[in-house]
Amino acid sequence: MRPINLEISGFGPYPDWVNIPFERFGSRGIFLITGDTGAGKTTIFDAITYALYGETSGGTRTGEMLRSDFAKEDVKTYVRLTFAYGKDIYTVKRNPKYARAKANGKGTTTENPNAELTLTDGKVITGNKQVTTYVKELMGIDYSQFTQIAMIAQGDFLRLLLAGSKERGEIFRRIFNTGFCQQLQLQLKSKMVSAKTDYKMAQTGILQYIQGIKVHENSLYYGDIYSLQQEQNVNKIDEITELLQKAIDEDKHLESKINSSLATMDATVKNLSLKITQGADNNEKLYSLKREKANLVKLESLLAGVEKDKQALAQAQTALVNIKPTADKVTSLQGDIERLVIQIKDKERFISEKNKLLQELYAKYLLQKNGELQRDKLKAEISKLIEEQDRYQVFNNLGLQCGKLQKEFDVLQKNIKAKEGLLDTYTKSVEGLKETLKKYDNLPILEEQLKNSFVQRQQVGGVLKALNDRLIRAEASKTKLEQAWRSFISLDKAYIDVNTEYALMESRFLQGQAGLLAATLQENTPCPVCGSALHPNPAKLLQEIPDKEQLDKKGQEKDTAYIARQQASEMSGAIQARLDAEMNSIVNDIINCTEGVTVTKENCSQVIKSEIKNETARCNILREKKKNLREKQGLAGAAKEQLNLYEENLKELQQQVKVLTENIQKTLAQLEKTKGEYTAVGKQLQYDTAQAAKKVLNEKQKALCQLQQEYETAEKLYRQLKDRLETTKATLEENKVSLRENNTVLAGMLEKLNILLKENNFDSYDSYIKSLKTNDEIQEITTRINGFVADYTQAKSNVDLLTSQLKGEKIVDLMPLSEEKQNLVQCIASQTQNRDNIITRLNSNTDILTNIKRQAKLLLGYVDSYMVLKNLSETANGELSGKEKIAFEQYIQGAYFSEIIYEANKRFTYMSDGRYKLVRATQAENLRSQSGLELEVLDNYTGKNRSVKSLSGGEAFKASLSLALGLSDVIQRKAGGVCLDTMFVDEGFGSLDDQSLNQAVDILNQLTQGNRLVGIISHVSQLKENIDKKLIVRKNNTGSTVEIYI
């Protein structure tokens, strides 16, 4: 991956749009990113990683934190990265969640996070997750791997160097995806814990069953069983089951004996119950006969009163059915006649009072009707005034328009005079600036010549300084070469012997572990390691298997021999190759960068020092010339910018004068036309102003409205009263007719009522009223009579029936029989309780006996399974007691770690002049800690290993950089040839001295071979001077900006 162009908008400290064309740095070499602290150097890295993966380079800033605090509300926040991968070009744009101004300019709204990726063929992929997934698949690495390979952020150096075994393991898990190994460890541990739980649960279950055994205190086996329950010993299962079986047999015999006794007592109780039931029934009937006779005597005493109720009921029913309908009609007619008489009197009085008022209203109505001519005249005058109102409005508008046009004409005259003055001033300024710029026409040529000379001198000076450093290191390496070769020959033979022994022992150990696991496998049961339910070819169990302690001891011997051999080989080979190649290269490079000087291996040091001094003097002269040239360029640039500004202003003024002239002509013509129309309309108006005309119109409209209202009121009052009187007279005649008709009907009804009273034996109307009763009262009397008749009949029938049934019967004494039955029932209950207790004890003990036997069989299987899984889990998780704590995942990670250290030492040995070398620690700090990924440093000066934490600041940075670059190499190999053509390194160079800094730059220069670009963030002044390609970030109180120097 190579970045081509990066756009940043409203992002971090950058308030506006910033464009960084990385393609200007070329396809290989080193470029520097420098600037003030907090200006936003690391934000450039953040923008690249955020565009690709939606996360920042350091992983500390979330998407919501990326919006610039300096950005205005209308500035969008996004990053757009154009990058090359292989031969294809891609563009990815991504924005975080942030608040932006609404489209209507009122308030803010939330812009949700989004991303889009444009492919080479123009296809666009959208969505945060979709774009991130495509980038991972395209580049073959995820965010974590990318930040370790291509973008090493602040703090990642020392974090990897100084991490413990556990933390380094977490880093490698993310990078090398070794999580599956951890999952296997966790699965084995989970299965071991589950097997242990089953084993413990089975033991607990058996003990709980034993505690649940119940035996009667009088049992022959109570004491023995109780002692075993208190002992709680799972190993005495056979003894407890034998005793329990005997106790069960004892309870079965006792249950049979009680059942026989209960059968005899049940038969006796049934016979007594039958006698008691028959005697109680006979006694109840005798008591009932006595109660029924007393009730019959009471009812016979009430017969006279019932006869009177029957007579009153018959008379009330006659009044209700034969008389009441006619009497009700008479009462209703009398009420209607009284109401008609009152209504007739009221209407006659109303007519008499309102006739006089009607005559007065009619006279007023005629008077108002005769004013029709006056109202019509007012209407005509009002219509004419309304028509003239529009012309007054036109007249006023024309007057206002004339005043407005006159003001516009005056303003235009004033503006054109001012513009013509400015036009003359700018014309003279442009001519003067053109004359000034002619003096600086040759500045670009001078700048190019000076730049080429300075670059050439810097390159020569840099080469000479590098050659001098190389010569010093070469001289120091000669004394070490002979000792290194003798050491390597001896250590190589020792490693071959011990490695062969370890390989044979490890093979037998792993086969033995596999054989132990295979012995527990069952068909259709998942394997605890691979999960397969089928086991076609399980491993065989070997006879002689080395234990873990023996294997670990031999592995330690092998690792120690390998490290010693590898160190000797690398040291001797590196010293020999570097020394021979370096001396020849140094002589050739000195010859290539000097002229007229004879160079040999003997005098090369003197030649280099002399040439470095000369080149420094030449560069100082060129810097002074460059300073003078930049001052002239600044003056020329300022003059050119001023000229461009004046020329633009001149063009704009000329256009403005032209437009003003045209506007003056148009405004004058419009003013003359409007004045003529204003005069013509004024001559047609009746009144001087629209207000005067409006006042007259309002007065006439008010007078007309008053006249019209008086007329309508008089007419309305007259016609309303007239209509009301006519309606009242008609109603009065109808009431009089109804009164005569009702009097005639009433006379006939009274005659009919008298006849009905006599026919039904009522002396008078009053006697009828006294006999009359309501329906509810009649119903109450009827119910009372019927109830008495039913009670009397039932009582007489009951007495006759019981007398016939109880001839010769007497009261029976039931107490002796009941007492005998109660005693037997209590005895049965006691015996039944005893039997139920025995049955409950039998059922419980029988179930317990079955469960104890079943759990005992399961316990044997759980013990075997637990011991096998315990051994496998402790081996895979590095938890074997008294052994090194190397888990399976750490063993795999250790292989990657060895590769990383090997690649890292290629740089670290060089940067430390052969003194230091990174090595894996042979054992953990203590046997309780996880081990396998500890790191130490071998000091060749002392021949001893020591902690990496003992390195100085500069040494630690060299080791960290070497380790980071080694990790990058290994990840790229693992990822199958990831195409990453650009690497970024963030900070850390400030802790290096001049020599170490040159060595670090040499290492990074080696990375640029084969079209690779390396970007460095640093404040180191020497890097600023030696690296030509720069990206400078500047900050101020409104945000940050970026400048590029090539």
The domain that holds 927 is classified in CATH as 3.40.50.300
Under the banding of pLDDT at 50, 70 and 90, the label for residue 554 is confident
Same-domain status, 909 and 1021:
no
Helix (H, G, I), strand (E, B) or coil at 33: strand
Residue 85, pLDDT score: 86
- Local confidence band at 128 (pLDDT 50, 70, 90 cut-offs): very high
In-domain check, residue 689: no
Structural domain contains residue 870: no
DSSP character for 27? Answer: S
Structure-model confidence comparison of residues 150 and 714, the more confident one: 714
For residue 132, the model assigns a pLDDT of 94
In whole angstroms, what is the distance from residue 771 CA to residue 756 CA? 15
Min mean pLDDT across 106-110, 225-229, 410-414, 484-488 is at: 484-488
Q: Residue 384: inside a domain, yes or no?
A: no
**Is the domain of 487 the same as that of 534?**
yes
Average pLDDT over residues 73-101: 90
Given 937, 957, 977, the domain boundary residue is 977
Phi-psi region of 932 (alpha: psi -120 to 50; beta: other; left: phi over 0): left
Domain containing 61 equals 1-140+981-1046
**What's the predicted TM-score (pTM) here?**
0.40
> Are residues 578 and 493 both part of a single domain?
yes
Cα–Cα–Cα angle for 205, 216, 245, rounded to 5 degrees: 55
pLDDT of residue 528 exceeding 60, the answer is: no
Helical residues (DSSP H) of 877-936, grouped into ranges: 888-911
pLDDT in tens, 464-523: 777 787 777 777 776 776 677 677 677 767 877 777 776 677 666 666 665 655 666 666
Residues 428-467: pLDDT tens digits? Answer: 777 777 777 777 777 777 777 777 777 777 777 777 777 7
987 lies in the same domain as 968:
no
Model confidence pLDDT, tens digit, residues 935-979: 889 888 787 888 888 887 777 777 877 887 777 777 767 655 556
The gap between the terminal CA atoms of the chain, to the nearest Å, is 22
Q: Are residues 130 and 174 in the same domain?
A: no
CA–CA gap between residue 917 and residue 570 (Å, rounded):
10
Flag whether 48 is in a domain: yes
For residue 124, the model assigns a pLDDT of: 93
At 406 the pLDDT is: 82
Q: Which residues of 278-287 are buried (b: 16+ CB within 10 A; e: fewer)?
A: ebeeeeeeee
- As a whole number, mean pLDDT of residues 807-833 equals 83
Read off the pLDDT of each residue in 1022-1044 and give the average, rounded to a whole number. 83
| CA distances (Å), origin 971, targets 142, 175, 240, 900, 997 | 11, 8, 65, 9, 26
Of the candidates 249, 226, 228, 254, the residue with the CA atom closest to the CA atom of residue 239: 228
User: How high is the pLDDT of residue 1015?
Assistant: 84
How many alpha carbons fall within 13 Å on the CB side of residue 143? 18
Closest CA to 1030 of 1021, 82, 1039: 1021
Q: What is the mean pLDDT of residues 566-591?
A: 72
Band the pLDDT of 668: cuts 50, 70, 90. Answer: confident
**Helices 888-911 and 953-974: angle between axes, nearest 10 degrees:** 120
Please give the Cα distance from 317 to 319 (Å, whole number): 6
Number of domains into which the chain is organized = 4
Pairing assessment for the beta strands 1013-1017 and 982-986 based on DSSP bridges: parallel
Is 928 a residue whose pLDDT tops 50?
Answer: no
Average pLDDT across the chain, whole number: 79
Is the same domain home to 916 and 1027? Answer: no
**9 and 123 share a domain?**
yes
Q: Work out the percent of the chain whose per-residue pLDDT is above 70.
A: 87
How high is the pLDDT of residue 927? 43
Does some domain include residue 623? no
pLDDT tens digits for range 746-783 = 888 888 888 888 888 888 878 878 878 888 888 888 88
Do 465 and 540 lie in one domain? The reply is: yes
**pLDDT score, position 81:** 95
Instruction: Please calculate the CA angle 200-201-202 and round it to the nearest 5 degrees.
Output: 90
pLDDT, tens digit, 9 for 90 and up, residues 238-289: 888 888 898 888 888 888 888 888 888 888 888 888 888 877 887 787 778 7
Q: What is the DSSP string of 447-481?
A: HHHHHHHHHHHHHHHHHHHHHHHHHHHHHHHHHHH
Residue 125 has pLDDT above 70, yes or no: yes
> Which residues, at least 6 apart from 903, have a Cβ–Cβ distance to it below 8 Å?
965, 966, 967, 969, 970
Question: Which spans in 301-323 are helix H?
Answer: 303-318
Domain boundary among the residues 957, 977, 997 is at 977
Q: Is residue 913 located within the same domain as residue 934?
A: yes
Per-residue pLDDT tens for 598-622? 777 777 778 778 877 887 887 778 7
Q: Is residue 598 domain-shared with residue 488, that is, in the same domain?
A: yes
pLDDT band at 94 (very low <50, low <70, confident <90, very high): very high
Backbone angles phi, psi at 104, to 5 degrees: -85, 0
What mean pLDDT do residues 657-686 have? Answer: 79
Mapped onto helix, strand or coil, the DSSP state of residue 416 is helix
Instruction: Identify whether residues 941 and 1020 lie together within a single domain.
Output: no
Which residue has 């109202």 as its token pair?
Answer: 375
Number of helices (H), then strands (E), in the chain: 22, 17
In-domain check, residue 466: yes
* 425: β partners: none
| Six-digit token string for 814 | 């039931």
Q: Give me the pLDDT at residue 92, please.
A: 96
* pLDDT per residue as tens digits for the range 337-396: 888 888 888 888 888 888 888 788 888 878 777 777 777 777 777 777 777 777 777 777
| Domain-embedded: residue 1008 | yes
Tell me, what's the pLDDT at 518? 62
- Identify whether 32 is part of a domain: yes
Question: Which pLDDT belongs to residue 116?
Answer: 95
Q: What are the phi and psi torsion angles at 392 (to 5°)? A: -60, -40
Q: What is the pLDDT of residue 133?
A: 93
Percent above pLDDT 90 for the chain: 6
Separation between Cα atoms, residue 465 and residue 999, nearest integer Å: 12
Q: Which of 930, 950, 977 is the last residue of a domain?
A: 977
Name the nearest CA neighbour of 615 among 472, 452, 464. 464
Most confident by average pLDDT, 67-76, 371-380, 394-403, 802-811: 67-76
The answer to whether 985 and 148 have CB atoms below 8 angstroms apart is no
Q: Do residues 591 and 450 share a domain?
A: yes
3-state secondary structure of 172: helix
Tens of pLDDT, residue by residue over 181-230, are: 778 878 888 888 888 888 788 888 888 888 888 988 888 888 888 888 88
Residues whose CB falls within 8 Å of the CB of residue 118, separated by 6 or more in sequence, listed in order: 90, 91, 92, 124
Neighbouring residues of 117: CB distance < 8 A, sequence distance ≥ 6: 90, 91, 92, 93, 124, 125, 126, 131, 134, 135
